[in-house]
Chain A
Amino acid sequence: MSDLRRRDPRKEWIGRNRLHPQHLEVLAELGMGAASEWMGPNGVIRRNPHAVGFVGPNGLRRIDRSGAQQGVAGAGASTSVAVQKPRVEIDDPAFSVVVVPDMAGGRLSSHDRDLIGLARRLADVDSGTQGVVVAVIFGPHKEVNFGEAGIDRLLHLDSPEMAGYSPEARLVALTLVEQSWAPRHWLLPDSKLGGGELGRRLAARLGERPATGVWQVEADAELPSGWRCIARGAAESLDIQRPLPRVSLALAECAEPISETCHAAAELSLPQSLPSMLSRIDDLGQVPVDPSGVALSEAEFILSAGNGVKDWDGFHHAAEVLGATEGASRVAVDDGFMARDRQVGATGTWVSARVYVAVGISGAIQHLQGIQTCEKVVAINMDPGCDMIKRADLAVIGDSTRILEALVTLVKQAREEKRDAA
């Protein structure tokens, strides 16, 4: 069918005439159902107050002014509901603010986003001299929304020497960035995930005295840089107020993340190729650690058991094969299947795992509180209506014993294939 709208003046007229005997039929036909608002014949908006709102459960008419439930949708083409964030493009920037996010797990962490929010504040001070936020990231990543995080330019360095623990190669790359664009500010996360270390190396190399542990930045017109900051010192026991230096290492929540605009995140590349250098530090890779020795609160991957686990030997075996730290719901602990220090939730441990697999856990609010900060939650449960499924990023409905068995078989198979190939 073509999109062309055919008008029927007579029907429109009946539609406008509330007293016409065929009024309601015609309205329904025109798709204006309970039209409460329409354009009158001479360009004035007409309203029908009787058609507004809906009858609530107690028989009273309720009017919802947010526009979400009104029958105002006309017969025309449907409008798209997705809100487009305003797009910001900065073509010729006056200066740049460089951020080096941690990209833990290949994505921008909330700490990184706060930092980018701070960078935006520094770049957008003066609309006359607009700055750009440049992000430098190393190695492969899984992030898709760099633009929405507030990044204007993205320098992605993905050569093999940047992989793993390679602070020296990364430092060389950052000094090249310094030479090429002479950024006005350098911002790095003061974290244990690499940002804190790289930032200190960079400051030492550039001969700048950085501010570390920055948690507040404010404009101060009297200072040459225009900004002052408050930084934590002496094992978190002092607040140091000082001018904002060129290199700053900021703590989480140093600024609000960007949520209202979308930026270009245009690809950037270094003007010169990286000099090859001999690394004095060799990365031999991660060492397998005993997952049960890792504290539950800082474990990366948790397999958690609830009342829905029937085969406990199978569960422990699955945790061992997957290399996951074991957790439990309160019921599993109370029933004596798991130790008390394994309990996750309000009265147990608050965990921050990247992947949390809940096996046979219904998702009581006391349990969900404990997993608030987990990134990905996988639920294995029989009951498709339970609260854990609503929280989960992936939910598999079925019997936990059989699914865990299948998972163990699959993982073992994959490992064997790998060994045969190697």
Chain B
Amino acid sequence: MRPETSINPGLEVTVLVSIGRHPVTGRARRADQDARGVELARSLEGAEVQLLHAGEQAETSEAALRGYLGMGFSELSLLEQPQGADVVPALAEALDAAAPHLVITGERAERGEGSGLLPYLLAERLGWPLVSGLAAVEGVENGVATLLQALPRGQRRRLKVRLPAIVTVDGAAPAPRQSAYGPARRGTFEALAGPVCHDEEWAEWQVQPARKRPKRLKIVKAASARDRFKAAAAKAEGGGGQVLTDVTPEQGAEAILKLLREEEVLR
């Protein structure tokens, strides 16, 4: 279900890309949501797409970043930042200078704090509107973009937002294309300098691999042992529902319809 996109001459799109982490091996890779963001930008016909990454240039991260270049780019801008730096000031400055129409980011990073705050902080600094959880960009006209936002339970919502804007994508956006080896090798990095701001709080926190969360126990609050036993032994579902016997099909249907209306599942 690919939406039809109109031709958007001169639409400048910047995709913020980060270094992901393979959930099983832990190796660096292109981050899934960011790659979906790049794919979304690629689906905008006629748009000029730029990739931007803030971080250090190291052997391992380079391989991951080349994964984005392999999606059909010849160049990736690299804002050089040391390890453990707060990249928001540098990114805000770079975006302010470049002034793209649309900035696409993932919902959360796969490394570091991964709080998902970055797009919100950028939006606050730049004073741009932000839309989260995008599934598709339907079109851009006169500086207003029509977006399709993904809601839980597979639902979609249509929004209009004035550009420039920041949007985030999550797993509902179209799956990214395969990274091609040749373009990934040939692509180049364009290094940019930016202000460096150290993240001191992060250094103070204790970070360890995630523990398994304890399972919640089913606590039965009952006054007597008999009630506790009954609650533990009984089937989880008790009665208490309304039962309509000896009704005509029409009456039954009406009762069901009333419930469906109350729950607002009918459209």
Contacts and interface: CB of A to CB of B under 8 A. Distances in A.
B159 interface: yes
Contacts of B151: 286
A293 B21 CA distance: 30
A395 B244 contact: yes
B109 to A, nearest CB: 7
Interface string A2-24: 00000000000000000000000
Given A197-B132, A281-B161, A287-B157, A237 B210 contact: yes
B265 A300 contact: yes
Interface stretch (B45-53, B64-72, B182-190, B245-253): B245-253
A204 B116 contact: no
Nearest to A399: B249
B29 to A, nearest CB: 12
Interface in B85-127: 108-117, 120-121, 123-124
Chain A CB within 10 A, most for which of B110, B113, B211: B113
B107 to A, nearest CB: 9
B146 to A, nearest CB: 8
Given A210-B117, A289-B155, A232 B210 contact: yes
Given A240-B113, A282-B159, A372-B236, A201 B120 contact: yes
A105 B265 CA distance: 10
A270 interface: no
Given A193-B152, A234-B109, A402-B249, A368 B158 contact: no
Interface residues of B, number: 87
Contacts, number: 246
Taking residues whose C-beta sits less than 8 angstroms from the other chain, chain A's interface range is: 35 or more
B207 A391 contact: no
B205 A241 contact: yes
Contacts of B131: 281
Contacts of A409: 253
Given A299-B153, A402-B249, A234 B243 contact: no
A394 B161 contact: no
Contacts of A240: 113, 205-207
Contact of B159 (A209, A284, A395, A405): A284
Contacts of B160: 281-282, 284
B263 A354 contact: yes
A384 B243 contact: yes
Given A234-B109, A282-B159, A368-B237, A396 B210 contact: no
B260 A322 contact: yes
Contact of A286 (B157, B206, B223): B157
Contacts of A294: 153-154
A111 to B, nearest CB: 12
Interface string A30-66: 0000000000000000000000000000000000111
B259 A378 contact: yes
A67 to B, nearest CB: 8
Nearest to A278: B162
12 contacts: A200-B120, A204-B124, A212-B117, A238-B210, A240-B207, A253-B213, A281-B129, A285-B157, A293-B154, A300-B155, A396-B255, A397-B245
